[in-house]
Amino acid sequence: MTADGDRVHEGPAEGDQEHEGPADGGPAHSGPADGGGRTDGARGWREAAREALYGPRGFYRRPEGPAGHFRTSVHASPLFAIAVARLLCRVDEALGRPDGAAFVDMAAGRGELAAGVLAALPPEVAGRIRICAVEVADRPAGLPERIEWLDAPPRGVRGLLFANEWLDNVPVDVVETDGAGVPRRVLVRPDGTELPGAAVDGEDAAWLERWWPLPPEEGLRAEIGLPRDRAWAGAVASLEAGLAVAVDYAHTAGARPPFGTLTGFRAGREVPPVPDGSRDLTAHVALDSCVLPGGRLLTQREALRALGVTGARPPLSLASSDPAGYVRALASAGEASELTAPGGLGDFTWLLQPVGVPDPLAS
């Protein structure tokens, strides 16, 4: 298996058996829509993805859960949850160790991170921390009763809000430049066929100009991140005090991908993006546009090393004095290396947004 960003899949896409795209594996294109309106069920990617991911028959309501289709840092190693628990302890200390401090796991999947953090907390902290998992799907069986299952983040809490690979699944509209270099909204039919819509205007055009300006060349693409900016600002606003963290595969100004990043994942493989509810639909995050005053970006490698996850090999002397302990330490070092690896999970970006407390990862 090879890692492609956070989605670990079994090799390259080989087309989609149900909705076959063009020979290059990308979305099929059709002629322009009349005046940018809907044609044969075509609509903007944001609207189509919202229904495909979160509607009554959406991907994130499927019984197998996201882990049935891709693997994130949470699934790669329990060291990730241990590191997040350490971060929660630092935030708790900065808040004065209050009763009722909270850990809020945004886009919790099946509660794996929330359960892992709860298990990793010291008993004196775990006993007074409120653990909340925020997810649109129904509560999974077997989740510890201590974990609250919510469809929106609680308001006015003090603690740590952690959004691991949430923002990449906040639906956004896709634009593509036409022959005159004008960015036009991309419309998509239920089978994944794309066609150009109306020229981008208003606040979406202003966001593009500020954060992802496109040269006047035909065929360039971008994803309008304004809905993600607003979603993140809303999540941060739910905190009375503490720290909000977003973790995602991201890009920043000066290094935007020229053809966008929208793609799909299903059953462990990357597949063409089709808004039919059968697959994840994801696009990298322009995370620099989400940063609020006082926030900062760093790599996952930097963040996890600051939390004690380094990937350092155990000393060889341990192999003689404690062979079993050496094997365990070696396995742990391998997992830490995967979480911090350049070119893989280590290149994920963390957005740290303190609210009324010092940055707990500041040196």
pLDDT in tens, 64-84: 766 555 567 787 778 999 999
**How many structural domains are present in the chain?**
1
Residue 12 belongs to a domain? yes
For 28-41, what is the mean pLDDT? 54
pLDDT in tens, 147-192: 999 999 999 999 999 999 999 999 999 999 999 999 999 999 999 9
Residue 188 belongs to a domain? yes
Phi and psi at residue 15, to the nearest 5°: 85, 170
Residue 141 pLDDT more than 70? yes
pLDDT in tens, 247-288: 999 999 999 999 999 999 998 789 999 999 999 999 999 999
Residue 245 belongs to a domain? yes
Residue 45 belongs to a domain? yes
Residue 54 pLDDT more than 60? yes
Higher confidence at residue 338 or residue 359? 359
Residue 360 belongs to a domain? no
Residue 328 pLDDT more than 90? no
For 91-104, what is the mean pLDDT? 96
Q: What is the extent of the structural domain holding 96? A: 2-355
Of the pLDDT bands very low, low, confident and very high (cuts 50, 70, 90), residue 329 is: low
CATH number reported for the structural domain that contains residue 248 in this entry? 3.40.50.12710
Residue 363 belongs to a domain? no
Q: Which residues contact 17 (CB under 8 A, 6 or more apart)?
A: none
In this prediction, residue 8 carries a pLDDT of: 36
In this prediction, residue 17 carries a pLDDT of: 32
Residue 233 belongs to a domain? yes
% of residues, the chain, pLDDT over 70: 82
Residue 361 belongs to a domain? no
Q: What is the 3-state secondary structure (H, E, C) of the chain?
A: CEEECCEEECCCCCCCCCCCCCCCCCCCECCCCHHHCCCCCCEEHHHHHHHHHHCCCCHHHCCCCHHHCCCCHHHHCHHHHHHHHHHHHHHHHHCCCCCCCEEEEECCCCCHHHHHHHHHCCHHHHCCCEEEEECCCCCCCCCCCCEEEECCCCCCEEEEEEEECCHHHCCCCEEEECCCCCEEEEEECCCCCEEEEEECCHHHHHHHHHHCCCCCCCCCEEECCHHHHHHHHHHHHCEEEEEEEEEECEECCCCCCCECCCEEEECCEEECCCCCCCCEEECCEEHHHCCCCCCEEEEHHHHHHHCCCCCCCCCCHHHHHCHHHHHHHHHHHHHHHHHHCCCCHHHCEEEEEEECCCCCCCC
172 near 230, Cβ under 8 Å? no
In this prediction, residue 241 carries a pLDDT of: 98
Lowest mean pLDDT among 26-35, 183-192, 233-242, 306-315: 26-35
Considering the chain, what is the average pLDDT of its residues? 86
Residue 345 pLDDT more than 90? no
Whether the model clears a pTM of 0.95, i.e. scores above it, the answer is no
